[in-house]
Every structure is written in structure tokens, then in C-alpha cells.
């Protein structure tokens, strides 16, 4: 999933902010940006955060308690976004950089061995 730098910064801020609240539910009035912020809407559309009409969690059912204020919750996908991003970067580097280097080294060694055999 592709994100721009401002989305990643906002997500990181929201993850840190969510750690200050019970059950990682961020009250709408504590958001570092306006609710109509473009990047916030992009994070919602990418399912990295979600909007909920809850002010707490029922201790017996562990379900959100519905009420009128709107809160934000960083989803599991959002909580682990940066870990997944790092894994994607490592896979890209392995496939696109390391493998071609190894193949060229092996090819060079084989060519040198073959040249040496036919002298």
C-alpha cells in the first residue's frame, strides 16, 4: 500500500497519541489535525485508522460503547504499517539489488573459469 510522507507522519503521530488513551481510542478533539484533513481521510480510506461512535469499551463484551462523539482508532493494519513497510523494502532490495549482483558475480566467475580452461 502506497502512502505519501505526510500520511506516514500523521499515522506515526496518531499511533503515538493512541498509546496515551485507554484501548487506543483517540477522542476527536485530541486529533493533531482537523477532521476534514485530506491525509486523515486518506488513512481512513486505506483502512489504517477508523472512525467510531464510541467513548469507551464495555468491560464484559470488549465492544465499543456507542455514544454521540466521534473517536478515531488506529487499526491493527495501521499499528503494524511501518513493520510491513520495512519488510516490503527488504524484499525489494533483495530482489532488485542483491540478486542481480550475485548473478553477475557468478556469471563473471563462470566466464573466467571457462576462459581459463580453453587456453
* pLDDT (tens digit per residue) in 5-54: 999 999 999 999 999 988 888 988 888 888 888 999 999 999 999 888 75
Distance of CA 74 to the CA centre of its chain: 11
Name the domain count of the chain: 1
For the entire predicted model, the pTM comes to 0.70
Say if CB 63 and CB 3 are below 8 A apart: no
Q: What is the pLDDT of residues 45-104, one digit of tens each?
A: 999 998 887 555 666 666 656 554 478 899 999 999 999 999 999 999 999 999 999 999
Helix (H) and strand (E) counts in the chain? 5, 3
Range of the domain at 97: 5-117
Distance CA 60, CA 8 (A): 34
- At 102, list the grid cell: 550475485
Q: What are the φ and ψ backbone dihedral angles of 72, each rounded to 5 degrees?
A: -115, 140
Say if CB 28 and CB 40 are below 8 A apart: no
Amino acid at each position: 500500500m502506497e502512502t505519501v510522507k505526510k500520511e506516514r507522519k500523521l499515522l506515526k503521530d496518531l499511533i503515538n497519541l493512541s498509546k496515551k488513551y485507554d484501548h487506543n481510542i483517540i477522542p476527536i478533539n485530541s486529533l493533531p489535525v482537523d477532521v476534514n484533513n485530506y491525509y486523515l481521510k486518506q488513512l481512513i480510506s486505506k483502512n489504517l485508522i477508523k472512525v467510531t461512535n464510541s467513548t469507551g469499551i464495555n468491560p464484559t463484551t470488549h465492544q465499543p460503547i456507542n455514544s454521540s462523539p466521534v473517536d478515531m482508532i488506529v487499526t491493527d493494519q495501521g499499528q503494524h504499517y511501518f513493520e510491513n513497510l520495512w519488510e516490503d523494502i527488504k524484499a525489494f532490495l533483495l530482489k532488485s539489488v542483491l540478486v542481480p549482483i550475485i548473478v553477475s558475480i557468478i556469471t563473471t566467475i563462470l566466464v573466467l573459469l571457462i576462459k581459463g580452461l580453453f587456453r
